[in-house]
Amino acid sequence: GGSVSALSGALSAALSSMVANLTFGKKGYENVNDEMEEISTKAQELKGTLLKIIDEDTMAFNKVMSAMALPKKTEEEKKIRKEAIERANQEATRVPLKVMEISLELVDLAKRVAEKGNKNALSDAGCALLQARSSCQGAYFNVMINLQGIENEDFKAEVSKKAKEILEKVLRETEAEIQKIHEKLTV
């Protein structure tokens, strides 16, 4: 799920970049050329980051599985295993949290291309927005399930609070924009 959430984010970034490129230099959109160029560049950067995070998520999951496979016969082995599982679970939680943080940027880019981009690509901007929201929600699920395996209560509280705040903001910011796109596309 974490890798798929990162992929959804990468798809959002790719679509926002595409809409910006379909707007840049077009008649009637000259006043947003600089903004579209900036959006396209930023979206490509985020896409590259998210594609790397797909692998980071897989590696983090593999570390959790490796930690769980550690021997647990002696008290020392149990202690080492427990500490390794805690570290691996924290790392596995940080990866989707990073995707959530990036999703805030993705929402901003998608909203901007939906509002100012080439009207012939409004459906693509809408898809970018939906993918950004999906990326955030999927990453949130992964953060929350990973927190269940963590014992450090301070870490859990801090990450849970941050993840909930990001999710609420993304849902709030996408809902109105999605409704606007629905209205503009309804015939």
Closest CA to 97 of 15, 154, 158, 12: 158
Helices and strands of the chain, counted as H and E runs: 5, 0
Give the whole-angstrom CA distance, residue 30 versus residue 27.
Answer: 6
Give the whole-angstrom CA distance, residue 57 versus residue 1.
Answer: 9
Q: Is pLDDT of 187 > 90?
A: no
Question: Per-residue pLDDT averaged across 133-150, rounded?
Answer: 97
pLDDT at residue 183, as a whole number: 95
The structure's pTM equals 0.94
Token pair of 6 as six digits: 């990162």
Q: Is pLDDT of 39 > 90?
A: yes
Closest CA to 3 of 88, 43, 62: 62
Question: Per-residue pLDDT averaged across 120-147, rounded?
Answer: 98
